[in-house]
Amino acid sequence: MRFLKKLYVNAILLFLYAPIFILMIFSFNASKSRGTWGGFSLKWYEELFKSGDIMQALYYTIIVAILSTIISTALGTFAAIGISEKRGIWKKVLLNLNYLPVVNPDIVTAVSLMALYSMMRLKLGFITILLSHIVFSTPYVVLSVLPKLKSLDPNLAEAALDLGATPFYALRKVIIPEIMPGIITGALLSFTLSIDDFVISFFNTGNGVTNLSIEIFAMARRGVKPTINALSTLMFLTMMVLLIIIYKRDEGGKKLENE
């Protein structure tokens, strides 16, 4: 019975990840064919980094991801602190409002933001795609920070104030260091979501501003090139590294709490 359970789990994992592993293997294929192995080669990676369109898309992807991560992490952290201080019905209302962007389909959020920018007569471009990424990333930061605030001793901040610290000093020196694992986890999630996003970016960007997901979509419509295999491999490895970091930090935080 135990053998069958392991076999079932392994079969599911193989079904999910086999296409990705095949894509990664064929990113080193010398042939353009996606079904015939023509020998080991790095030429598609060389062409990838020589492509002006892809490098421009990578530039906007990284810039938007970094800026949205910084802003959404700050907003989400202070929002989580504010929500944790609330009591009764208002806390439940704020928590439910924070859950809405998370459970909402991306297409609904994307079209809603596009309609809002149109109503505000805001031209679609770098600013709108950045604002959109901040909007859908911030709730995840809040959800990452709230558990750390819940486990925080409520008397710490009061003790700091009694000892003469100002509220801002207590926040900077007492509360934030204690919840730093949650803040870092939220920032990593925000960065990952920003790089991975397509739907919200597609509806809220303008001419001349594109990210990797939109560029890959455009390339796929014109005909899939082996450079997409190389790009997808690099993106997958990047996401895996970030997810491993998130997992390790969560495990480390749990061990410290248990000790």
The pLDDT of residue 178 is above 80 = yes
The pLDDT of residue 83 is above 90 = no
Cβ within 8 Å of residue 160, ≥6 positions away: 169, 170, 173, 174
Cβ within 8 Å of residue 257, ≥6 positions away: 151
- Provide the pLDDT for residue 224: 67
The pLDDT of residue 22 is above 70 = yes
Q: How far apart are CA 64 and CA 211, in angstroms?
A: 9
pTM: 0.80
Banded model confidence at residue 140, pLDDT cuts 50, 70, 90: very high
Homologous superfamily of 60-258: MetI-like (1.10.3720.10)
Banded model confidence at residue 173, pLDDT cuts 50, 70, 90: confident
More confident residue, 44 or 140: 140
- Which residue carries 């007492």 as its tokens? 174
Cβ within 8 Å of residue 151, ≥6 positions away: 257
- Provide the pLDDT for residue 167: 75
Rounded percentage of the chain residues whose pLDDT exceeds 90 = 17
Residue 29, phi then psi, degrees to nearest 5: -85, 130
